[in-house]
Structure 1
């Protein structure tokens, strides 16, 4: 709380003694500047909270691009915890599988989630190799999400000579804070929708074992790429 010193008012002709006394009394009171006006807005605080997991993920990807980041397995160990913190992987998986997810057993869901986590981490390992030199930017403000009650954090990813690509994140708040529930490539291509088409084909052909096998094959390819 900031307190400004009192100021003396100059005497003015024509003022009554009573009015002059009242003005002097009022001027002697300290002027208070509200702490609320000085504090960051709730909107700014919310935007910072929503973008924090993405900032952590991007900082980790920057470290994974360092020349001494090591083999794919070492980079997977580095990236994995950042993915766990930034993503609500269970929600992303559920939305990627679609309506049939509700009918799966607890054991099937657990096996799918393990495979999906490995697949997600491996994709980052493949895309952000040592020496890639990707540049990340995060917009300071969020915007409302058209998908429920979340917000969207706008970012770009690009190299030193590439035109930056818009990569936006749909964030939802939960008990542990904001986490990613979808990624919008080029600002409009839903990663969840793309995965749903891919996953649906595997599920239709061979159920959960076929989907796990598909993700494991992709994971292996990413780790060797």
Structure 2
């Protein structure tokens, strides 16, 4: 079953002035579009859409919401500059395929989940943080917080922070470091493609 965010009552605790300020924030619009796409994906899964169909559905949503090239570069870290341009392009493509496959797998059913913004958009240097919460049908909550940065005039997600402040980017960097150390970009591309093929 997929992830869901905060309930309407929780969203309503935000004061009207804050809600108006948030509505004007383009970073918030990016996250709301992603949330809507994830709910639609869960509903499609509940309607019988298979993994491939869900991947086709969520792919364009991922492309609009996430800065996949920046995420791939940041996840690789310092070794990125040693990759050839062709390898960089291949890593970005494999990183995207992995991300799409994981969303299509993780958001695989719908049972009334809700996603809502849980507070005002926070500015942190050049980045913004948007906090959301997924609420499941039995009142289970999952925090999904997004770090965004401007790219091409748009605010795009560059990191997802899960429960207890676990950064997806930091986790990826740790995972990729050993792979790159052993086999460079070709090994990383194979690693990403393996995850995309079996994203459980």
Q: TM-score, normalised by structure 2?
A: 0.83
Number of residue pairs aligned between Structure 1 and Structure 2: 181
- One of 31, 34, 55 as aligned partner of 1:54: 31
1:185 Cα deviation after fit: 0.9
Instruction: Name the CA distance, whole Å, in 1 between partners of 2:122 and 2:22.
Output: 13
| 2:105 aligned with 1:126 | yes
Greater RCO, CA 8 A, separation 6+: 2
Q: 1:47 to 1:186 in 2, by over 3 A?
A: farther
Q: 1:172 aligns with which of 132, 139, 149?
A: 149
The one-character-per-residue Cα deviations of 1:126-164 (angstroms, maximum 9, x if unpaired) are 11013354321113511122xx41110000123111431
CA RMSD across the alignment:
2.1
User: For each residue in 1:30-49, what CA deviation from the matched residue of structure 2 results, as whole angstroms up to 9, or x when unmatched?
Assistant: xxxxxxxxxx89x9268631
Residues 105 and 167 (structure 1), Cα distance of their counterparts in 2 relative to 1, 3 Å cut: same
Of stretches 136-145 and 114-123 in structure 1, the one that deviates more from structure 2 is 136-145
Structure-1 separation of matches of 2:67 and 2:164: 20
Give unmatched runs, 5+ long, in structure 1.
Answer: 1-39
CA contact (8 A) 1:64 1:79 kept: yes
SS of alignment partner, residue 129 of structure 1:
coil
* Residue 109 (structure 1) aligns with: 88
Q: Report the Cα distance in structure 2 between the residues aligned to 1:97 and 1:57, rounded to whole angstroms.
A: 24
SS of 1:58's equivalent in the other structure is helix
Structure 2: stretches of 5+ with no match in the other structure? 1-16
Aligned to 2:181: 204
Q: Give the TM-score normalised by the residue count of structure 1.
A: 0.74
